[in-house]
Structure 1
Amino acid sequence: MKVRDPDGRTWRVTRRWVPWRRRLRELPDAGPLDGLNGLGDDPVSAIIAIVLLVLALPLVILALFVALELLLLLLLIPFAALARVAFGAHWTIEARRGFTIWWDAPSGGWRESGEQIRAVARAIHEGQPPPRTVED
C-alpha cells in the first residue's frame, strides 16, 4: 500500500513475500561507457573503444548474473507465497521510505497482516511513522 506522510514523502507498507530481506544498493548515475558517444572514427578512437569494451565486459557479465537472479526470484515467489498461504505461515510486514526499508515486524496470517498494514499506513498518513528498526 502506497501512502504519503504530511511532509509529502512516499511510503510503501507491504508484506514481505520472500522469507529473506532484500538487499538493494543504489546504482551509480554514470557508467564506464557514458563517454563513448564522443569517440570519432579514427584508429586511435577505435582502440580506445575496444579497450573500454574489454573493461566493460565484467559489468556485462555481472548484469547477466543479476538478471538470472531476478528470474530465479520471480520463479520462486509464487511457490513461496503458495506455501505461506497453504501452511499458514506468518507474514512479515515492512514500511519503506522510497526503496529503503525503514521498519519491519512479524505479523500473523494473511488477514492479520492486512489489518496491520492498513493500521501502519493510517499512522504514517497521520504523521506518526513507526520507529526505525532496520539499520543500513
Structure 2
Amino acid sequence: MITILLVDDSPTVRAMVSELLRSKGIEVIEAADGIEAMAKMQIQCPDLVITDIVMPRMNGYELCRWIKTQFQDKYIPVIMCTSKDQQFDHYWGIKQGADAYITKPFQPVDLIKAIKKLLVRN
C-alpha cells in the first residue's frame, strides 16, 4: 500500500486531502507542521510527501530541504501544495527540491495525477 505524509497546518485541508487520498486506497499520515513531519518520518518513511509551505515552527521549504538531505539515498518525492501562487514561489519550491508544485485551490484530479506521475518513477 502507498503511504503519503500530508503536512498542513489547516485541519480542514488535512481532512479534505486525507479523505481524497484514502478514497484512492492510499494510507495517509498527517502532520501539522515540518517539525511534526520530521518526527513522523523517523518512525515511518512515506512513499511521498505533500506539504504546505506556510506553517508554524518549520515551513515547507525547510522540510523539503531536510527530506532531500536526510533521505538522499531514497527517492521520496515532495509535492508542495500551497496558496503561494506567484511564479517566484513556484521557482523557489522547485529550487528547494520539490518534485511538483500545486497551488490551492486545486482540482483533486490534478493532485492524483501528480502523485501517480511521481510514484511511477519510484
TM-score higher than 0.5 here?
Answer: no
What TM-score do the two structures reach when normalised by structure 1? 0.25
In the superposition, the TM-score normalised over structure 2's length comes to 0.27
